[in-house]
Amino acid sequence: MARKPVLEGGKRDEITDAAMELFFENGYEATSVRMIMDRVGGEIGMFYHYFKSKDMLFDTVAERFFLNYRKNFETLLSGCSTPEEFADKFLPVYARSMEQFDRINGNMHWSIQLAMQSRTMMSLLPLIQETIEKWDMHTEMPSGIIAAQLLYGISGTLHSAEFEEMSDEDSKKAIIGFIYKVTGFDKKKKPCRE
């Protein structure tokens, strides 16, 4: 007898939501398929109807978590033609994102925090690359390398104790200065636009 196709929504979404809660509370390793299925009131066999493995479920959880985050960031970056515009738009969005993260962070296992940070960086890298390709840069360095340097450098800056102590004006200057150093953006020329 052939398996029925797995549809989106319904029990599959319930399992995904329960897994997200449990992964955040306990971590990936300490969350079992049995715990997830107990939370949704289902049997182990039902889990394997929807997901081939716990790894596959974790990927689904991460995708759901990042879908809205990525859309918001993509919208933000689409209108940034200069480092100043980037800093003006990015820093408030970053502050709101950190407030949301802090609300769930208390219950989030360190392993999930690390996986989420890694996944965030991977999902944002192409968006950063597209943005800097629109800027007027004077460098031989490929845009993918510059995007990675920017993303990881800005992330390190944002998570430093010194940055948290800065005024809004100084934090903006720090981000803009870093972008200019890495990208070679020319302040004197008009930025490129698509």
Return averaged pLDDT per consecutive 10 residues of the chain, 194 residues in all: 52 94 83 96 95 92 79 82 84 72 61 76 86 76 89 87 90 90 67 42
pLDDT at residue 48, as a whole number: 95
Q: What is the pLDDT of residue 120?
A: 79
Report whether 22 contacts 112 (CB < 8 A).
no
pLDDT recorded at residue 99: 66
Q: What single-letter DSSP state applies at residue 166?
A: S
Q: What is the pLDDT at residue 56?
A: 94
Distance CA 120, CA 67 (A): 11
* Cα distance between residue 165 and residue 106, in whole Å: 22
Query: What residue spans define the domains of the chain?
Result: 10-57, 63-183
pTM of the model: 0.64
Report the CATH architecture of 10-57.
Answer: Orthogonal Bundle (1.10)
Could you give the C-alpha distances from 134 to 81, 147, 183, in angstroms and in order?
7, 12, 11
Say if residues 176 and 83 touch (Cβ distance below 8 Å): yes
Residue 36 exposed, middle or buried by CB count within 10 Å (0-12, 13-18, 19+): buried
> What SS3 class is residue 8?
coil
* Residue 82, C-beta contacts closer than 8 angstroms, at least 6 positions apart: 135, 185, 191
Report whether 58 contacts 19 (CB < 8 A).
yes
